[in-house]
Amino acid sequence: MDGQYGDSTRTVRAVSFPAEPGSPVAPSPVTASTYHLSPDESEPLDVYGRYSNPTWRQLESALAALEGAAAALTFGSGMAAITSTLRVLAKPGSTLVVPADGYYQVRRYAAEYLAPQGIKIIQARASEMCEAAGAADVVLAETPANPGLDVVDLHRLGLVCRSRGATLVVDNTAATPLGQQPLSLGADLVVASATKALSGHSDLIAGYVAGSNPDLMAAVERDRLLAGPILGAFEAWLVLRSLGSAGLRFERQCQNARALAVMLRGHPAVRWVRYPGLPDDPSYPVAADQMKRFGGLLAVEFESAAAVNALVERSELVIAATSFGGIHTSIDRRARWGDEVSDGFARFSLGIEDTDDLIADIERALR
């Protein structure tokens, strides 16, 4: 059983498919092949690329296995997965809670597209989620919240949602299924961007929804079919190819994040550091309870914007980039994107470089 294996074994197994004599080990992308209709008209599989294709199904079965879900659906981006899910769940007259301190485009979508349709939007920070859920029909939580890295108590939030019949959706982008499995903690659906640590090479955009409630999954699949926010078959194949090394990559990213958190914590150039895996972090008690690994992101406040820029300039290994989760260590000064943070606030995304090299490089750059 997969339960007995470690995560690197599980990621490798998630992308191992039964061999068929004469077929390639890893299927090449199915893009515009001729879809031969089956004479059996009750079998609508693969009649057209927006319905489904074999590469999607392989990726979806791998993602479902990693999330501990009955099923998964791929999307053309994380936002496509999130907005499709919200279109299905949030009906006119209903109340939707979205993270105030999470991924900013989600708030924009809620304000610009859902609110005008008569959906009441409540914005709540990670620490306010459980209280806000008391008045909600649908709750979208993000934990650890990007970029501040506060953690939401998913078990408690799940109980609040269940007690009032609200649907709980959790954005699992930052933690990945190797860091936490929200469905096992009480979420009804997981939404995520596979653009970040899961695919990990900063070379594609993809998203997915995972869940075990067949009605919810069928409704999301229906929206994908009708609205069409699909993942290209080539990207689906690339995610699948990348997934096999996700266990190794994520392990190193988490190790590097922890080492950097420990180094920066007492550093004179740093005002504060947030990492849910540091035992004195305010999020640690909940994070230690619900997370298996604490992730590759680090939130740091330096003195000023100039201090962050100087670090990038002097470092040989840290690059300035706004996405995260890739194999290269990067830093993003979030105030430039309008996040409500100070000018010196930066989010590190740890790559897979050797830990000692990275720490020495950043120490040197800060000197």
Ligand X SMILES: *Cc1c(COP(=O)(O)O)cnc(C)c1O
When the beta carbons of 52 and 83 are compared against ligand X, the nearer one is 83
Q: How many Cβ atoms are within 10 Å of 82's Cβ, its own excluded?
A: 27
Q: What's the distance, CA 217 to chain centroid?
A: 18
DSSP string, 50-104: TT--HHHHHHHHHHHHHHT-SEEEEESSHHHHHHHHHHHH--TT-EEEEESSS-H
Establish whether 7 is a catalytic residue.
Answer: no
Size of the site for ligand X (CB under 6 A): 14
Picking from 93, 172, 178, the residue whose alpha carbon sits closest to that of residue 138 is 93
Residue that the structure tokens 């950043």 belong to: 362
Report the distance separating Cα 246 and Cα 133, nearest Å: 33
Least Å from the CB of residue 319 to ligand X: 17
Report the distance separating Cα 249 and Cα 98, nearest Å: 30
Look up residue 232 and give its DSSP letter: P
Least Å from the CB of residue 315 to ligand X: 23
Helix extents (H) in the chain: 7-14, 54-67, 78-89, 104-109, 129-133, 154-163, 176-179, 214-227, 233-243, 246-265, 284-290, 305-314, 355-366
Q: Which among 87, 196, 224, 252 is annotated as catalytic?
A: 196
Which residues have a Cβ under 8 Å from the Cβ of 317 and sit 6 or more positions away?
Answer: 328, 329, 351, 353, 357, 358, 361, 362
Classify residue 267 as exposed, middle or buried by CB count within 10 Å of its CB (0-12, 13-18, 19+): middle
Query: Between 10 and 49, how does the x/- string for binding to ligand X read (CB under 6 A)?
Result: ----------------------------------------
Q: How many Cβ atoms are within 10 Å of 266's Cβ, its own excluded?
A: 8
Task: Indicate the residue whose CB is closest to ligand X.
Answer: 78
Beta carbons of 118 and 91 less than 8 angstroms apart: no
CA distances, 161 to each of 94, 151, 317 (Å): 14, 17, 44
Query: Between 93 and 112, how does the x/- string for binding to ligand X read (CB under 6 A)?
Result: ----------x---------
Segment lying near ligand X (by CB under 6 A), choices 49-57, 58-66, 190-198, 241-249: 190-198
Least Å from the CB of residue 20 to ligand X: 32
Establish whether 91 is a catalytic residue.
Answer: no
Residue 207 interacting with ligand X (CB under 6 A): yes
When the beta carbons of 195 and 253 are compared against ligand X, the nearer one is 195
Query: Between 299 and 338, how does the x/- string for binding to ligand X read (CB under 6 A)?
Result: ----------------------------------------
CA triplet 291, 7, 69: central angle to 5 degrees?
70
When the beta carbons of 167 and 172 are compared against ligand X, the nearer one is 172
Establish whether 103 is a catalytic residue.
Answer: yes
Least Å from the CB of residue 66 to ligand X: 17
Establish whether 196 is a catalytic residue.
Answer: yes
Look up residue 350 and give its DSSP letter: -
Residue 193 interacting with ligand X (CB under 6 A): yes
Residue 146 interacting with ligand X (CB under 6 A): yes
When the beta carbons of 205 and 217 are compared against ligand X, the nearer one is 205
Least Å from the CB of residue 82 to ligand X: 6
Which residues, numbered 62-91, are part of the site for ligand X (CB under 6 A)? Answer: 77-79
| Interface residue with ligand X, options 67, 171, 223, 353 (CB under 6 A) | 171
Beta carbons of 74 and 236 less than 8 angstroms apart: yes
Q: Which among 2, 5, 48, 50 is annotated as catalytic?
A: 50
Query: Between 266 and 295, how does the x/- string for binding to ligand X read (CB under 6 A)?
Result: ------------------------------
Which residues, numbered 126-145, are part of the site for ligand X (CB under 6 A)? Answer: 142
Residue 199 interacting with ligand X (CB under 6 A): no
Give the sign of the dihedral formed by CA 29, CA 32, CA 34, CA 37. positive
Which residues form the catalytic set? 50, 103, 171, 196
Give the binding site for ligand X (CB under 6 A).
77-79, 103, 142, 146, 171, 173-174, 193, 195-196, 205, 207
